[in-house]
A and B are shown apart, each in its own frame.
Chain A
Amino acid sequence: MRKVAIIGAATTPFKSRWLDKTLYELAYDVTKAVLADAGIVKDRVDSCVYGIYNDFFARQYQPDCLVHDYIGMAPRPAMRVNTGGATGGSAIRAGIAEVASGMADVCLVLGAEKCNDCFNYEAGTTTPEVLKAINYTADLTYEFPTGRTAASVFALAIIAHQGRYNGLPTKEQMAKVSVKNHRNAVKNPVAQSPKLLTVEEVLNARMISYPFGFYDNCLYTEGAAAVILAAEDVARKLCPKPVWVTGVGAALDWAFLGNRPNLYEFHSSREAAVKAYKMAGITNPRREIDLAELHDAFTGTEIMAYEDCFFCEPGEGGKLIDEEVVEPWGELPVNLSGGLIGCGHAVGATGIMQTVEIVLHLRGEAGERQIKEARRGLVQSIGGIANAWTVVLILEREGK
């Protein structure tokens, strides 16, 4: 396999609604931004991978073909990746395969999502219709008719986790994750939900899916993010600060939760982390990783991710937030971007937004959010039916 570098990275603002831009226009904006960041013209791009999750959001099947046209990439080869919430991470993985295999020297990986064109006339809001569009991802025969939501699936996992580990994580520990990620977003100019909250405010918020309240959830987001991947020789010629992809791991677990050996951990997350660490030569992730962007669709999910990424022992994830290890001033800051809760969850773009955040830190360009020792970062992208998909990426700066 050839070595692969990230030579360009860009994110549009993440917002609840881009009334003045379509999906294609967001993709167009982020294409211009990422080409400018990489300092290349579009003719250098050999192939494209598009991360777009939901056709119902887009009001269009195969929106990738139209994105490809709108951003002027015809007639290059391109394909769309859709693994639900993990779409962004999976799209980058597919782009890495393009470059590592030699099929492309330069590959554009672009994620975009626009959910709030959905609208429920009875409720007078977008949310019930957005939820319905997402729920079509559940098995239509056995699961969709029960009315369970994406929130329910994460909630079911947390309840199982609490059952296994003496009630851990506690609601307070989960609330602290919400406080941290909303606070981190304050320093992120592209974030949707910058907020200074107290633990009490999080605990007292209205219930969404027990045990998750309003501030335990990420919101729906519209936005786009992109990276440009390049083969080593091209990267060295074109880019003064290449960021190297040194580890990639992915796994797709049983999609019917009922078929899994247990529900208190995400096996795909553990499997993906093991694979990525092996490839990157990491034996002590807690010590060897400087910062991480984890898939905090819900606060408890982030705590499970500490465990599933082997930052701590199973069941002990809550300690990392109690002991401030994952705070910006801690030993292993998590979700400096604000994560899905603070920055937003523009599904197909999310894993790419998280990657862009790590790239900025590794380049020393993260502005107010910049942490000192940023040599190696981790991105975790979870999604798909019952969160069966996980992709883990390890990124390193030059001369780590």
Chain B
Amino acid sequence: MATKIDAEKWYRRNSERIGVPVELVKKYFREEFETAKPADAPLEIPDKIEIFYKYTYGRQSRFFREIRENKRLYGARCPKCGKVFCPPRAGCPHCYQDTEWIPLEGTGTLMTYTIVYFSNSAFVRKVPFVCGYIKLDGTNFLMIQNVYMEDVNKARVGMRVKVHFQEERDGSITDLYFVPVDE
């Protein structure tokens, strides 16, 4: 069955609707419109799901505000067991006590890692990169974060790292990253 609709208009309408350049829409749907097909041949249609937010960090707000405004890293300490969480927790999951803020040095140890060669669409341009779990000095748990390195193959378990902050900070966890400490 040959198409009876104006394919060019269809490409433009759908390009606008899903926010994908018209050449790409055309590239992946041209075959549908330029080939005669039986009426019951599988039909594919473009779509996307998009939801906007203005979300709250709740009682973790100070953690992100200190990073954004002051380039300072804070942990949350349980007054009962003394354990320090970074990422922070408003309440200790072991003792059910409200935690208190304590400043951290920002140095730590890489406990395990991977080198990401293949990631989702938001990160494909960044690969390969080192992503690992870091035990920050003065804390009891681990934080996942990227370690920026010239040569990703030099990443090692036990490597010492130090926090760095982005020049332009948004108030998100990617405002910070780690770099190896030369020792």
* Interface residues, chain A, with chain B CB atoms under 8 Å away: 19-20, 56, 59, 119-124, 127-129, 131-132, 134-135, 141-143, 145-149, 151-152, 155-157, 159-160, 163, 206-211, 256-259, 263
Instruction: Give the contacting residue for A146; candidates B21, B112, B158, B173; CB below 8 A.
Output: B173
Given contacts A122-B24, A156-B133, A209-B118, contact A142 B144 (CB under 8 A): yes
Is B49 in the interface zone, CB < 8 Å from A?
yes
CB neighbours (8 Å) of B143 from chain A are 142, 258
A135 to B47, CA, bound (A): 19
The chain A residue with its CB closest to the CB of B93 is A259
A-B pairs with beta carbons under 8 A, tally:
131
Known: A127-B118, A146-B131, A256-B87. 17 other contacts (CB 8 A): A19-B42, A121-B20, A121-B46, A128-B121, A132-B122, A147-B126, A149-B119, A156-B112, A156-B114, A156-B131, A157-B112, A159-B113, A207-B128, A208-B118, A209-B115, A210-B114, A258-B87
Instruction: Give the contacting residue for B133; candidates A128, A207, A209, A258; CB below 8 A.
Output: A258
Shortest Cβ gap from B152 to chain A (Å): 8
* Interface residues, chain B, with chain A CB atoms under 8 Å away: 20-21, 24-25, 27-28, 42, 44, 46-47, 49, 57, 60, 87, 93, 111-124, 126, 128-129, 131-133, 141-146, 157-158, 172-174
B28 contacts A152, CB within 8 Å?
Answer: no
Interface centre among B20, B28, B120, B121, by most chain A C-beta atoms within 10 angstroms, is B120
CB neighbours (8 Å) of B112 from chain A are 156-157, 159-160, 163, 263
CB neighbours (8 Å) of B142 from chain A are 257-259, 263
A121 to B28, CA, bound (A): 8
B146 contacts A121, CB within 8 Å?
Answer: no
B47 contacts A123, CB within 8 Å?
Answer: no
B120 contacts A146, CB within 8 Å?
Answer: no
A123 contacts B172, CB within 8 Å?
Answer: no
A127 to B124, CA, bound (A): 11
A157 to B142, CA, bound (A): 13
CB neighbours (8 Å) of A208 from chain B are 117-118
The chain A residue with its CB closest to the CB of B142 is A258
Q: List 21 A-B contacts (CB under 8 A).
A: A56-B49, A122-B24, A124-B27, A128-B120, A128-B124, A131-B118, A142-B144, A142-B173, A148-B114, A148-B116, A148-B144, A149-B116, A152-B131, A156-B131, A159-B157, A160-B157, A163-B157, A207-B115, A256-B87, A259-B93, A263-B133
